[in-house]
Amino acid sequence: MNFIVNEPNRVCKPFFERFDDLFAKPNQREGFRAYLLEILNKTLRKSHERYQSLRYFLVESPWEAGALNDRRIGMLLADPPHQPTPKRRVYHQ
């Protein structure tokens, strides 16, 4: 996972770009990317500024959680190892 920390744009950019059209503003896209990198890195920085930026993205910035989840589910279903089978179901709210 160090490659994600050291080179997040090279590794994650193609994935992130698949969600770009769901965010109206560049700072929303950047907030989404920063949020996912925080999750991937499994680190919580204690910087107040960083916390405020992530909080703004999650709470204040207008974005459609349902559209994001639909895209995520669609990507999973398009990947053969994640497709539903009689023994494995995909739950979507």
Q: Per the domain annotation, does 50 fall within a domain?
A: yes
Domain that holds residue 24: 2-62
Across the range 27-46, mean pLDDT stands at 77
Q: Per the domain annotation, does 32 fall within a domain?
A: yes
Q: Is the pLDDT of residue 3 over 50?
A: no
Give 64-84 pLDDT, tens digit per residue: 888 988 998 888 888 877 777
Q: Is the pLDDT of residue 5 over 70?
A: no
- Distance (Å, whole) CA 57 – CA 61: 5
- Under 8 Å between Cβ of 31 and 54: yes
Q: Per the domain annotation, does 10 fall within a domain?
A: yes
- Under 8 Å between Cβ of 33 and 16: yes
Confidence at residue 59, expressed as pLDDT on a 0 to 100 scale: 77
Confidence at residue 21, expressed as pLDDT on a 0 to 100 scale: 94
Q: Per the domain annotation, does 23 fall within a domain?
A: yes
Number of domains forming the structure of the chain:
1
Q: Per the domain annotation, does 79 fall within a domain?
A: no
pLDDT band at 19 (very low <50, low <70, confident <90, very high): very high
Q: Is the pTM of this model over 0.85?
A: no
Q: Per the domain annotation, does 17 fall within a domain?
A: yes
Confidence at residue 22, expressed as pLDDT on a 0 to 100 scale: 92
- Under 8 Å between Cβ of 63 and 19: no
Q: Per the domain annotation, does 13 fall within a domain?
A: yes
